Structure 1
C-alpha cells in the first residue's frame, strides 16, 4: 500500500508477504517483516524500488515484472488522483503465475476534489455519517465523537485545544466541529443544528477567536442562531479577539440564557459543570 507520511513529508510504500491482514496488526506482531520504500518527490517512484519490494515479497523472477507494473501503476494513481492512501490487499499469484490485485481501497484529499470531478462523483454519502455529509454541504468540518459536550469552534488548532481542556476539566467532547473563518449567522445556525442532532449532547461550548472576523459579528450570529434553532441545553460562549467587549455586550443584552466565559479554562469548567446538572437524554 501507499500512504502519505506527514512526518517525513513523503509518500511511503509499505508491503508484507502475508495478504488479507491489517497492516496495523502486522506492525504490532512482527514490525521487522514490513517492507518500506520512501519515495523522493523530486524523482518519484523508481522501478528499482518497486523491484526491491517485489523481491522482498518472495516472488519468483517471472512475477517480478508484473508486480513492478502494479506498484508503479498504484503510485501513478496516488499522484494523479490526489490520493492519501492506496491499499492493495490482497495481491495474489494465480495458478497460471499471473499477479492480480484482488481488492484495492483508496482515500482522497477532500481539499483537492474540486479538481477531481471524476472522483468526487463516485462519493457515496450513504456510506458516511449523515451529519458529516450535511456539514460538508455547509462548509463545516464535523467529526462525531463519543462524549456529551457539543463543541462549536473556529479553527482546527483551537478546536483541538478546546477538546483537550474539556477532557482536563472532566468532560468528554461530543464532536470536533470547525466552523472556519467566516462565522456567518447561517453557518453558525447550521453548526448548532448539527450538534443538537446528536441526542447525547447535554451542553454546548462555543469558543471563537475573532481574527479575520469580529467578536460583535460572531456574537450576533450566535444570538440569531440560538433563537432560530431553539437550543434546549446549557450554552457556554467564550469570545476573544477583535471587538471582544462589544461581542460580550451583545450576548449579555440578548436576554438568552448564555453562560459567558473569559478564558478557555473557565469555559471548559463551566460547560462541564452545566452538563453535570443537565438531565441524561432518554
Structure 2
C-alpha cells in the first residue's frame, strides 16, 4: 500500500479438515518425504483401528463406530500430520508458492500488484484457487466455498479511483467468491483499509462484557479475586496480536485506554 499497490487475500475454509485425512494418503506422503519405515509403521499403528462414540447429556454413549479417516484433534501430532498431508498442495501452487500462509487447517494465499495489473492478478489467483479445489477433491478434503472469502487491501486514496465492483470476479468451480469489507484472520479482524477499527471495537466489546460481569458480581468476590479474573480474562484479549496497535489512530488508542 505504501508503494501504491493493492493486495488481494483469499482465505480458504476446509470442512472438518482434520476428520477427513486419509490414512493411506498420509502414509504415502510420509514415504515421499523419506520418513524412516519404523516411523511410518508407528504412525500407522497410532491412527489405524480407532473408534469413536458420542457422549450424550445424560451420561450415556452412542454405539462405538470405527474411524477410518482423520487425525486426533487436540493432540500434539494432529497439526503436524495435517501439514505433512497438505504439503503437496503448497508445492502445486503455480503463482502463490511463495506468498501463502498456513496455520493448521487455515490456508491463505495473497498477491500484490499495481492497480492497473489487477485483472491479471485475479486470473492468477483463480488458477491457484482451481488448483486448491482440484487437489482437495483428489485427496478427500472438502473445500467449503460458502465460507471461502477474499478481501482487497487498498488505501483510501486508491479507493477514489475504483471500488470492489470494478474487480474481476474470483471464481472457484463456477462459484463466485465474494469480496468482503473485513475478515477474521486467526482471531484478528482485518478490514480492507487496514485501519484496525473493527478489530479494536470487537476486542473492546468482549473486554467490556467480561468487566460488566465482574462488576455485577462485585459483592460476591474479593478485590483480589476480581483482579486475578480481570488479568486472566481481559489482558489476554488486549495482548493477542498487540503489534497491530502500534500505529492506531488517536480515537482507537483512546478506546483501548
Pick the TM interval, shorter chain: under 0.3
Structure of greater relative contact order (alpha carbons < 8 Å, 6+ residues apart): 2
Which structure features the higher share of strand residues?
A: 1
What TM-score results when the alignment is normalised by the length of structure 1? 0.23
Rg: which structure is higher? 1
What TM-score results when the alignment is normalised by the length of structure 2? 0.25
